[in-house]
Amino acid sequence: MTTSNVNQREDTTAGESRGNRRRTNEEQLDAVFEVLADARRRRIIRILRTQDGDTVPVPALAQTLATREPTDPEPDQLVISLRHVHLPKLDATGVIEYTAERSQVRYCGPSLVERLLDQV
């Protein structure tokens, strides 16, 4: 193998590595857009942003959220929706930290989410 072939292989590997990283960033961006596409999740984030990084019990979050929902849902129904749908999705994208066992949630404040929410 000549030196030029070695360099060429290294360049290909570096390019493939950058491509994988780019796909990961694109997948992360898609996941953030997906969670922010839901109005309830945006309201959840806005509520948690006001907590200065403190943890919030899920029932308290549901109570606050109920006052901001357009349909005036029952807080108990919101707790179920939060625990089974919205909080796991937000946690999976790194927007929040959700501890199901303790029923606690904390906003992480990723800069991408901050920038996007400031635009909406």
Strands 56-57 and 96-99: unpaired
- Tens digit of pLDDT at every position of the chain (120 positions): 444 444 444 444 344 444 444 557 788 888 889 999 999 999 999 999 999 889 999 999 999 999 999 888 888 999 999 999 999 999 999 999 999 898 999 999 888 888 888 777
| Global pTM value | 0.75
CA dihedral 32, 34, 36, 37 (to 10 degrees): 160
pLDDT at 61: 96
Strands (E), the chain: 56-57, 96-99, 104-107
Whether 91 contacts 98, CB under 8 Å: yes
Domain boundaries, the chain: 3-119
CA dihedral 17, 18, 19, 22 (to 10 degrees): 130
pLDDT at 22: 53
Neighbour order of strands in the sheet with 104-107: 56-57, 104-107, 96-99
pLDDT at 23: 54
The residue type found at 101 is E
Looking at domain 3-119, its CATH class is mainly alpha
Rounded CA separation 46/24 (Å): 26
